[in-house]
Protein backbone atom coordinates (compact mmCIF):
# COMPACT_ATOMS: atom_id res chain seq x y z
CA UNK A 1 0.00 0.00 0.00
CA UNK A 2 1.21 3.47 -0.84
CA UNK A 3 3.62 2.20 -3.50
CA UNK A 4 3.50 4.38 -6.66
CA UNK A 5 1.47 2.43 -9.20
CA UNK A 6 -0.05 2.65 -12.67
CA UNK A 7 -3.53 1.12 -12.63
CA UNK A 8 -4.73 -0.76 -15.68
CA UNK A 9 -8.45 -1.06 -15.04
CA UNK A 10 -10.33 -3.41 -17.35
CA UNK A 11 -14.04 -3.24 -18.10
CA UNK A 12 -16.53 -5.86 -17.01
CA UNK A 13 -16.88 -8.09 -13.99
CA UNK A 14 -18.26 -11.58 -13.48
CA UNK A 15 -19.59 -10.46 -10.04
CA UNK A 16 -21.84 -7.65 -8.86
CA UNK A 17 -20.81 -7.27 -5.24
CA UNK A 18 -23.68 -5.88 -3.25
CA UNK A 19 -26.18 -7.99 -5.23
CA UNK A 20 -29.68 -6.52 -4.90
CA UNK A 21 -28.35 -3.63 -2.78
CA UNK A 22 -26.02 -2.72 -5.65
CA UNK A 23 -28.94 -2.74 -8.09
CA UNK A 24 -30.94 -0.48 -5.75
CA UNK A 25 -28.01 1.93 -5.50
CA UNK A 26 -28.03 2.28 -9.30
CA UNK A 27 -31.80 2.62 -9.74
CA UNK A 28 -32.56 5.67 -11.86
CA UNK A 29 -29.07 5.79 -13.39
CA UNK A 30 -27.82 4.80 -16.84
CA UNK A 31 -26.69 1.49 -15.33
CA UNK A 32 -30.09 0.56 -13.90
CA UNK A 33 -30.92 -2.17 -16.41
CA UNK A 34 -27.47 -3.77 -16.31
CA UNK A 35 -27.18 -3.83 -12.54
CA UNK A 36 -30.76 -5.09 -12.11
CA UNK A 37 -30.16 -7.93 -14.60
CA UNK A 38 -26.89 -8.91 -12.90
CA UNK A 39 -28.50 -8.82 -9.45
CA UNK A 40 -31.35 -11.08 -10.62
CA UNK A 41 -28.77 -13.61 -11.80
CA UNK A 42 -26.25 -13.34 -8.96
CA UNK A 43 -27.92 -11.91 -5.88
CA UNK A 44 -28.66 -13.84 -2.69
CA UNK A 45 -29.42 -12.47 0.76
CA UNK A 46 -28.41 -9.13 2.24
CA UNK A 47 -25.10 -7.44 1.57
CA UNK A 48 -23.39 -5.12 4.04
CA UNK A 49 -21.31 -3.39 1.34
CA UNK A 50 -21.56 -2.55 -2.37
CA UNK A 51 -18.77 -2.52 -5.00
CA UNK A 52 -17.47 1.06 -5.22
CA UNK A 53 -16.18 0.82 -8.82
CA UNK A 54 -19.31 -0.31 -10.69
CA UNK A 55 -19.58 2.93 -12.67
CA UNK A 56 -15.88 2.54 -13.65
CA UNK A 57 -16.10 -1.02 -14.99
CA UNK A 58 -19.58 -1.02 -16.54
CA UNK A 59 -18.22 0.87 -19.55
CA UNK A 60 -14.90 0.74 -21.32
CA UNK A 61 -13.11 1.59 -24.54
CA UNK A 62 -11.13 -0.97 -26.52
CA UNK A 63 -7.46 -0.36 -27.36
CA UNK A 64 -4.97 -2.09 -29.62
CA UNK A 65 -1.83 -3.13 -27.75
CA UNK A 66 0.45 -0.66 -29.60
CA UNK A 67 -2.12 2.11 -29.13
CA UNK A 68 -2.25 1.59 -25.37
CA UNK A 69 1.53 1.50 -25.23
CA UNK A 70 1.72 4.87 -27.06
CA UNK A 71 -0.83 6.31 -24.66
CA UNK A 72 1.21 5.19 -21.67
CA UNK A 73 4.35 6.65 -23.26
CA UNK A 74 2.67 10.02 -23.90
CA UNK A 75 1.39 10.13 -20.32
CA UNK A 76 4.85 9.40 -18.89
CA UNK A 77 3.73 6.07 -17.41
CA UNK A 78 6.65 4.17 -18.96
CA UNK A 79 9.11 6.57 -17.31
CA UNK A 80 7.37 5.94 -14.02
CA UNK A 81 7.67 2.18 -14.51
CA UNK A 82 11.37 2.65 -15.14
CA UNK A 83 11.52 4.57 -11.84
CA UNK A 84 9.94 1.61 -10.02
CA UNK A 85 6.19 2.20 -10.17
CA UNK A 86 4.22 -1.03 -10.16
CA UNK A 87 1.61 -1.96 -12.75
CA UNK A 88 -1.60 -2.92 -10.92
CA UNK A 89 -4.08 -4.93 -13.00
CA UNK A 90 -7.55 -4.37 -11.69
CA UNK A 91 -11.16 -4.01 -12.81
CA UNK A 92 -13.88 -5.19 -12.70
CA UNK A 93 -12.24 -8.56 -12.99
CA UNK A 94 -8.98 -8.31 -14.95
CA UNK A 95 -8.65 -12.05 -15.47
CA UNK A 96 -11.63 -11.92 -17.85
CA UNK A 97 -9.13 -10.22 -20.19
CA UNK A 98 -6.01 -12.19 -19.37
CA UNK A 99 -5.04 -12.91 -23.00
CA UNK A 100 -5.21 -9.22 -24.00
CA UNK A 101 -3.31 -8.19 -20.86
CA UNK A 102 -0.66 -10.84 -21.56
CA UNK A 103 -0.20 -9.42 -25.08
CA UNK A 104 0.20 -5.92 -23.66
CA UNK A 105 2.73 -7.00 -21.04
CA UNK A 106 4.64 -9.00 -23.67
CA UNK A 107 4.79 -5.81 -25.76
CA UNK A 108 5.94 -3.64 -22.84
CA UNK A 109 8.68 -6.13 -21.96
CA UNK A 110 9.76 -6.42 -25.61
CA UNK A 111 10.48 -2.65 -25.50
CA UNK A 112 12.96 -3.28 -22.68
CA UNK A 113 10.85 -2.65 -19.56
CA UNK A 114 10.70 -5.06 -16.65
CA UNK A 115 7.71 -3.91 -14.59
CA UNK A 116 6.68 -5.29 -11.20
CA UNK A 117 3.13 -6.50 -11.89
CA UNK A 118 0.36 -6.92 -9.32
CA UNK A 119 -3.07 -8.34 -10.04
CA UNK A 120 -6.23 -7.71 -8.03
CA UNK A 121 -8.76 -10.47 -8.57
CA UNK A 122 -11.87 -11.93 -6.97
CA UNK A 123 -10.18 -15.37 -7.11
CA UNK A 124 -12.84 -16.99 -9.28
CA UNK A 125 -10.51 -17.56 -12.26
CA UNK A 126 -7.07 -19.16 -12.27
CA UNK A 127 -4.76 -17.53 -14.83
CA UNK A 128 -2.90 -19.15 -17.71
CA UNK A 129 0.79 -19.94 -17.52
CA UNK A 130 1.59 -17.10 -19.95
CA UNK A 131 -0.24 -14.59 -17.79
CA UNK A 132 1.35 -15.93 -14.61
CA UNK A 133 4.81 -15.53 -16.08
CA UNK A 134 4.33 -11.73 -15.83
CA UNK A 135 2.88 -11.51 -12.31
CA UNK A 136 4.93 -10.69 -9.19
CA UNK A 137 2.12 -10.22 -6.69
CA UNK A 138 -1.41 -11.62 -6.42
CA UNK A 139 -3.91 -9.71 -4.29
CA UNK A 140 -6.79 -12.17 -4.00
CA UNK A 141 -10.10 -10.93 -2.71
CA UNK A 142 -12.58 -13.80 -2.54
CA UNK A 143 -16.05 -12.61 -1.61
CA UNK A 144 -17.94 -13.56 1.56
CA UNK A 145 -21.67 -13.91 2.09
CA UNK A 146 -21.63 -10.21 3.09
CA UNK A 147 -21.27 -9.46 -0.67
CA UNK A 148 -24.87 -10.56 -1.29
CA UNK A 149 -23.74 -13.00 -4.01
CA UNK A 150 -24.83 -16.60 -4.48
CA UNK A 151 -22.42 -18.97 -2.80
CA UNK A 152 -21.82 -21.18 -5.83
CA UNK A 153 -20.72 -18.10 -7.78
CA UNK A 154 -18.44 -16.43 -5.24
CA UNK A 155 -16.90 -19.41 -3.42
CA UNK A 156 -14.55 -21.43 -5.64
CA UNK A 157 -12.57 -23.92 -3.53
CA UNK A 158 -10.72 -25.57 -6.46
CA UNK A 159 -9.44 -22.21 -7.65
CA UNK A 160 -8.41 -21.11 -4.16
CA UNK A 161 -6.53 -24.43 -3.82
CA UNK A 162 -4.62 -23.61 -6.98
CA UNK A 163 -3.63 -20.18 -5.72
CA UNK A 164 -2.64 -21.52 -2.33
CA UNK A 165 -0.07 -23.78 -4.01
CA UNK A 166 1.83 -20.55 -4.62
CA UNK A 167 2.65 -20.49 -0.91
CA UNK A 168 4.42 -23.82 -1.12
CA UNK A 169 7.04 -22.59 -3.55
CA UNK A 170 6.20 -25.45 -5.91
CA UNK A 171 4.48 -23.17 -8.36
CA UNK A 172 5.17 -19.51 -9.16
CA UNK A 173 7.72 -17.22 -7.61
CA UNK A 174 4.99 -14.63 -7.07
CA UNK A 175 3.84 -13.56 -3.62
CA UNK A 176 0.15 -14.16 -2.86
CA UNK A 177 -1.96 -12.31 -0.31
CA UNK A 178 -5.63 -12.67 0.59
CA UNK A 179 -7.73 -9.59 1.30
CA UNK A 180 -11.24 -9.84 2.75
CA UNK A 181 -13.73 -6.98 2.80
CA UNK A 182 -15.24 -6.87 6.29
CA UNK A 183 -18.49 -5.06 7.02
CA UNK A 184 -19.13 -6.50 10.47
CA UNK A 185 -17.20 -8.44 13.10
CA UNK A 186 -19.60 -11.35 12.38
CA UNK A 187 -17.71 -11.86 9.09
CA UNK A 188 -14.65 -13.24 10.90
CA UNK A 189 -16.16 -16.69 11.54
CA UNK A 190 -16.63 -17.24 7.79
CA UNK A 191 -13.13 -15.97 6.94
CA UNK A 192 -11.55 -18.32 9.43
CA UNK A 193 -13.55 -21.47 8.72
CA UNK A 194 -14.06 -21.22 4.96
CA UNK A 195 -10.64 -19.83 4.06
CA UNK A 196 -7.84 -19.72 6.66
CA UNK A 197 -8.53 -23.10 8.26
CA UNK A 198 -9.81 -24.91 5.18
CA UNK A 199 -6.90 -23.93 2.91
CA UNK A 200 -4.22 -23.39 5.54
CA UNK A 201 -3.73 -19.78 4.48
CA UNK A 202 -0.95 -18.15 6.54
CA UNK A 203 -2.13 -15.30 8.75
CA UNK A 204 0.81 -13.20 7.63
CA UNK A 205 -0.66 -13.31 4.10
CA UNK A 206 -4.16 -12.36 5.25
CA UNK A 207 -5.49 -8.79 5.26
CA UNK A 208 -8.79 -7.44 6.52
CA UNK A 209 -10.12 -4.33 4.78
CA UNK A 210 -13.03 -2.32 6.20
CA UNK A 211 -16.08 -1.97 3.95
CA UNK A 212 -16.96 1.59 2.98
CA UNK A 213 -17.50 3.42 -0.28
CA UNK A 214 -16.75 6.89 1.14
CA UNK A 215 -15.06 8.46 4.16
CA UNK A 216 -18.27 8.50 6.21
CA UNK A 217 -18.99 4.76 5.72
CA UNK A 218 -15.35 3.89 6.29
CA UNK A 219 -15.38 5.76 9.58
CA UNK A 220 -18.12 3.44 10.84
CA UNK A 221 -16.25 0.17 10.25
CA UNK A 222 -12.53 0.98 10.41
CA UNK A 223 -11.91 0.71 14.15
CA UNK A 224 -13.87 -2.55 14.60
CA UNK A 225 -12.05 -4.16 11.68
CA UNK A 226 -8.66 -3.00 13.01
CA UNK A 227 -9.51 -4.59 16.40
CA UNK A 228 -10.59 -7.79 14.63
CA UNK A 229 -7.25 -7.95 12.83
CA UNK A 230 -5.27 -7.34 16.02
CA UNK A 231 -7.25 -9.93 18.00
CA UNK A 232 -6.81 -12.62 15.33
CA UNK A 233 -3.19 -11.95 14.37
CA UNK A 234 -3.87 -11.00 10.75
CA UNK A 235 -3.06 -7.78 8.95
CA UNK A 236 -5.23 -4.70 8.54
CA UNK A 237 -5.31 -2.68 5.35
CA UNK A 238 -6.81 0.74 4.84
CA UNK A 239 -8.72 2.07 1.83
CA UNK A 240 -6.03 4.67 1.32
CA UNK A 241 -7.59 6.19 -1.80
CA UNK A 242 -10.84 6.92 0.07
CA UNK A 243 -9.01 8.23 3.13
CA UNK A 244 -7.14 10.74 0.96
CA UNK A 245 -9.48 11.46 -1.97
CA UNK A 246 -12.88 10.22 -0.73
CA UNK A 247 -15.00 9.25 -3.77
CA UNK A 248 -12.80 10.86 -6.45
CA UNK A 249 -11.56 8.55 -9.25
CA UNK A 250 -8.72 8.88 -11.76
CA UNK A 251 -6.22 10.18 -9.18
Residues that bind ligand SF4 (CB under 6 A): 13, 15-17, 51, 53, 57, 91-93, 122
Smaller CB separation from ligand SF4, 26 or 57: 57
Residue 33's region, left for phi above 0, alpha for psi from -120 to 50, else beta, is: alpha
Q: What is the closest distance, in whole angstroms, from the C-beta atom of residue 109 to ligand SF4 in the complex? A: 27
Smaller CB separation from ligand SF4, 93 or 118: 93
Smaller CB separation from ligand SF4, 51 or 225: 51
Answer yes or no: are the C-beta atoms of 173 and 207 closer than 8 Å: no
Calpha distance 240→61 (Å, rounded): 27
Q: What is the closest distance, in whole angstroms, from the C-beta atom of residue 210 to ligand SF4 in the complex? A: 14
Q: What is the closest distance, in whole angstroms, from the C-beta atom of residue 17 to ligand SF4 in the complex? A: 3
In degrees to the nearest 10, what's the CA dihedral of 148, 149, 151, 152? 170
Expressed in percent and rounded to 5, the helix, strand and coil fractions of the chain are 45, 15, 40
Smaller CB separation from ligand SF4, 35 or 69: 35
Calpha distance 62→52 (Å, rounded): 22
Q: What is the closest distance, in whole angstroms, from the C-beta atom of residue 41 to ligand SF4 in the complex? A: 13
Smaller CB separation from ligand SF4, 95 or 196: 95
Q: What is the closest distance, in whole angstroms, from the C-beta atom of residue 241 to ligand SF4 in the complex? A: 14
Report the first-to-last Cα separation within the chain, whole angstroms.
Answer: 15
Calpha distance 68→44 (Å, rounded): 38
Q: What is the closest distance, in whole angstroms, from the C-beta atom of residue 83 to ligand SF4 in the complex? A: 28
Smaller CB separation from ligand SF4, 19 or 115: 19
DSSP 18-33: THHHHHHHTTTSTTHH
* Spatial CA neighbour of 4 closest among 69, 83, 104: 83
Amino acid sequence: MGHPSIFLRTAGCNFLCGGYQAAEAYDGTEYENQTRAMAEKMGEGDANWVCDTIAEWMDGEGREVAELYEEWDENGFLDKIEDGSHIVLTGGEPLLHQDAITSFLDYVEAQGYDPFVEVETNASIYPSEDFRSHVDQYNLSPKLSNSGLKEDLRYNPEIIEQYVKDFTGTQDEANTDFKFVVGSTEDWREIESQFLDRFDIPRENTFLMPAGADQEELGLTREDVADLAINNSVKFTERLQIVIWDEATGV
